[in-house]
């Protein structure tokens, strides 16, 4: 496969000044069929195999795998209530909007780990999540434990399990904190020992200081067609240095994330990957009922991933496909029909996020080349 559509698309990203540099890889049947590095990572440095990008929400699938590894070990179940591990989460309230702003309304039912992983908990979601974000988000000297303790004082956007709304940070931080409690080790150490080292992901970390400065991709914003570099002070948002967030915060390279994604594909097919066959299928399966607002055969939540039940005129991914994106421009998905894994990376504060036009364009370019 020569991938003419994908090559053309990647060159357009650079030519149109949407990113200073980018990279992408496609694997089919377990073989790497495409890999390219284009443009600059910052200050005249060419993007290469060691260029590390801030993953933002592409951290979430890794957190989902961490939880599922503990379920495989028999140490928890995704149906467990969060309050079994964090008692303060046994007394949560749904927000009620009044003329004076949001106040505590009805007492919420139990939030389960499954709800955290499918954005159906109400924690850190929707309008109330936006309002509370400044006070709730990790900052200062926060650890995962201190931040998650604070989140318990917040109000929910909806009654747990009755709706779905994206939780950018808080929900998956709670899941990561449960991993700490159950495993008895810091979250960063857990994912390193159980995921990164076994998969050979030696350039994936929560710490900017783990990288040669020349290998860190600068994040740019685009203004009037010009690329303007932004200070690289945090691994995500204003997170404290080294904050081990479950929802965001990891830094990785193209090759490292391909190892993770390919291992998920292998697991999904019943091979020896990071998860068992059953756990991988559960992770990739559409989990939420179609009666829930925003859920459809073309869009649902698996565990930490978007899960697709069917292809349609509006959405080209094959049924069974799953993956996710990051706020700074990263994107990946696994296509079981084509036995394919595709990963894309750039860092931009202007062109990023799930469902952003460049992610759909990337999907279409890859499918044009793979399916003809």
Per-residue confidence band for 277, with pLDDT thresholds at 50, 70 and 90: very high
User: What size, in residues, is the chain?
Assistant: 372
264 in Cβ contact with 304 (< 8 Å): no
Give this prediction's pTM. 0.97
- Taking 90 as the threshold, does the pLDDT of residue 73 lie above it? yes
In DSSP notation, 29-89 reads TTEEEEEEEEEEEETTEEP-TT-EEE-GGGGHHHHHHHHHHHHHTTS--TTSBGGGT-GGG
- Give residue limits of the domains in the chain: 4-59+187-371, 69-183
Tokens standing for residue 208: 């900017």
56 in Cβ contact with 168 (< 8 Å): no
- At 100 the pLDDT is 79
Q: Mind listing the pLDDT tens digit for each residue in 149-163?
A: 999 999 999 999 999
132 in Cβ contact with 206 (< 8 Å): no
How far is the C-alpha of 289 from the C-alpha of 142, rounded, in Å? 36
85 φ, ψ (degrees, to nearest 5): -110, -30
Q: Mind listing the pLDDT tens digit for each residue in 78-95?
A: 999 999 999 999 999 999
How far is the C-alpha of 198 from the C-alpha of 190, rounded, in Å? 12
Q: Mind listing the pLDDT tens digit for each residue in 215-224?
A: 999 999 999 9
302 bridge partner residues: none
Tell me the CA end-to-end span of the chain in Å, nearest whole number: 10
Homologous superfamily of 4-59+187-371: DD-peptidase/beta-lactamase superfamily (3.40.710.10)
- At 113 the pLDDT is 98
* β-strands 45-46, 52-54 pairing: unpaired
How far is the C-alpha of 128 from the C-alpha of 130, rounded, in Å? 5
Average pLDDT estimate for 334-353:
96
Question: Mean pLDDT for the chain?
Answer: 96
Q: Mind listing the pLDDT tens digit for each residue in 109-134?
A: 999 999 999 999 999 999 998 988 88
Tabulate helix, strand, coil % of the chain (nearest 5): 35, 20, 45
How far is the C-alpha of 59 from the C-alpha of 65, rounded, in Å? 10
- Taking 90 as the threshold, does the pLDDT of residue 9 lie above it? yes
- At 147 the pLDDT is 97
């Amino acid at each position: 496969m020569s991938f003419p559509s994908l090559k053309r698309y990647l060159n357009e990203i650079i030519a149109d000044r949407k990113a200073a540099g980018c990279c992408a890889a496609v694997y089919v049947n377990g073989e790497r069929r495409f890999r390219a590095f284009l443009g600059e990572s910052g200050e005249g440095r060419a993007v290469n195999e060691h260029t590390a990008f801030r993953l933002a929400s592409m951290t979430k699938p890794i957190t989902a795998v961490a939880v599922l590894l503990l379920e495989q070990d028999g140490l928890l179940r995704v149906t467990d209530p969060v309050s079994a591990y964090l008692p303060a989460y046994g007394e949560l309230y749904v927000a009620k909007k009044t003329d004076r702003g949001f106040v505590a309304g009805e007492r919420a039912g139990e939030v389960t780990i499954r709800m955290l992983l499918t954005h159906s908990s109400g924690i850190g979601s929707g309008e109330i999540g936006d309002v509370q974000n400044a006070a709730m988000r990790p900052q200062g000297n926060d650890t995962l434990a201190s931040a998650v303790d604070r989140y318990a004082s917040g109000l929910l956007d909806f009654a747990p399990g009755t709706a779905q709304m994206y939780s950018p940070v808080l929900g998956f931080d709670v899941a990561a904190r449960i991993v700490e409690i159950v495993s008895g080790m810091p979250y960063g150490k857990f994912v390193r020992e159980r995921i990164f080292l076994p998969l050979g992901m030696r350039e994936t970390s929560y710490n900017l200081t783990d990288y040669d400065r020349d290998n860190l991709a600068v994040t740019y914003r685009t203004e009037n067609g010009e690329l303007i570099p932004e200070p690289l002070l945090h691994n995500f948002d204003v997170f404290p240095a080294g904050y081990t967030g479950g929802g965001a915060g990891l830094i990785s390279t193209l090759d490292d994330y391909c190892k993770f994604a390919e291992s998920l594909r292998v697991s999904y097919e019943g091979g020896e990957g990071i998860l068992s066959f059953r756990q991988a299928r559960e992770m990739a399966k559409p989990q939420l009922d179609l009666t829930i607002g925003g859920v459809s055969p073309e869009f649902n939540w698996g565990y930490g991933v978007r899960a697709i039940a069917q292809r349609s005129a509006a959405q080209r991914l094959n049924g069974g496909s799953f993956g996710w994106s990051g706020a700074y421009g990263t994107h990946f998905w696994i296509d079981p029909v084509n036995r394919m894994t595709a990963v894309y990376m750039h860092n931009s504060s202007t062109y990023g996020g799930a469902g952003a036009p460049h992610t759909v364009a990337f999907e279409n370019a890859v499918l044009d080349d793979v399916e003809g």
